[in-house]
Copies of this chain bind each other. A is one copy, B any other.
């Protein structure tokens, strides 16, 4: 037998052109037109505000999608891992920000290797880490961009805004091999604050810290050409604050259950962007009239922010039922779901669900039109 006899079947043995219902399962469906509208909406917002747009590619891990974002006006992309940057660079993306701290000789040498071919920058929050990055750059005879990462309230990575940021900025500006470009100020915690007004207020507090640090950088003669931040939940607030030069939202292209539920300007659903991905699953067991089981469980739909949302099956609800099972329960006298029924689920968290798949099944007008690899899936180093 061949080394990997079922690879085609596993990642998409269906014929291009087939109906969605003919796609084998589980499958990660990507609605191309919907994603295209999301890409254009965020690009239009950035254009209208005179902001650079650098979408976060950790969401999609796809060079194809990165190139669509760039074709729509993005200056480049963000990613979290060196391994993601390598995949994107290999596919022709020319400007990448690793919006995360990186430490360790092997990874720093890989960043320097990328800097021979593309513009690459890294978030730094520590003088020793910056010194090690500079050393790696010098060893390869390249220059690596650096953004001082400030903690505007998340309590994760980042140096404190204001004085501490300026001190680190001065240190990094003096490191040969690094080119200080400005600041990064991403607050993951406020992206999912429920309620439009509450989220706006949280974003204002973060933006004030960014603005103060930008002013301190200017007073110190440090560069502020790039001030990168904002996410899908706060782009409109942070993008309008005047503190940022660049937006690094990612989830807006796909949306997910969690983001839908944070609330929008006009009601309980946050609908600035449309849901563009879903997971197709098959009912493969019908043990009871009020309970059937699908082939999509924990290894297909992430649950880090709760369960996925069942679509198009009124009166039925979804519960993860183990690694490879999803349980659908009927509440009342709704339509049955016979053996073989294909159902769709909206992921609760797009990033961690996409990372479980090898391929996007790209659909348009109800038909499969392409298979796109999740090329940087699993690139955790």
Interface string of A94-133 (1 = CB under 8 A from B): 0000001111101100100100010000000110110000
With contact pairs A158-B287, A287-B157 given, residues A322 and B103 touching in the complex (Cβ less than 8 Å): no
Interface residues of A in 35-81 (CB under 8 A from B): 58, 80-81
List the B residue with the shortest CB-CB distance to A92.
Answer: B1
| Contact across chains for A282 and B103 when beta carbons are under 8 A apart | yes
**How far in angstroms is the closest Cβ of chain B from A104?**
6
Interface residues of A in 271-302 (CB under 8 A from B): 282-287, 291, 293, 295-296, 298-300, 302
| A31 adjacent to chain B (CB < 8 Å) | no
Interface residues of A, dominant DSSP? loop
With contact pairs A90-B2, A128-B339, A356-B355 given, residues A324 and B103 touching in the complex (Cβ less than 8 Å): no
| Contact across chains for B324 and A380 when beta carbons are under 8 A apart | yes
With contact pairs A10-B381, A104-B282, A378-B358 given, residues A298 and B24 touching in the complex (Cβ less than 8 Å): no
CA distance A24 to B107 in the complex (A): 8
CA distance A3 to B158 in the complex (A): 33
| Contact across chains for A380 and B58 when beta carbons are under 8 A apart | no
| Contact across chains for B352 and A9 when beta carbons are under 8 A apart | no
- Give the residues in chain B near A323, CB-CB below 8 Å: 58, 80, 351-352, 355
A: residues with CB less than 8 A from B are: 1-6, 9-10, 13, 24-26, 58, 80-83, 86-87, 89-90, 100-104, 106-107, 110, 113, 117, 125-126, 128-129, 151, 155-159, 188, 282-287, 291, 293, 295-296, 298-300, 302-304, 320-325, 327, 339-340, 349, 351-352, 355-358, 377-381
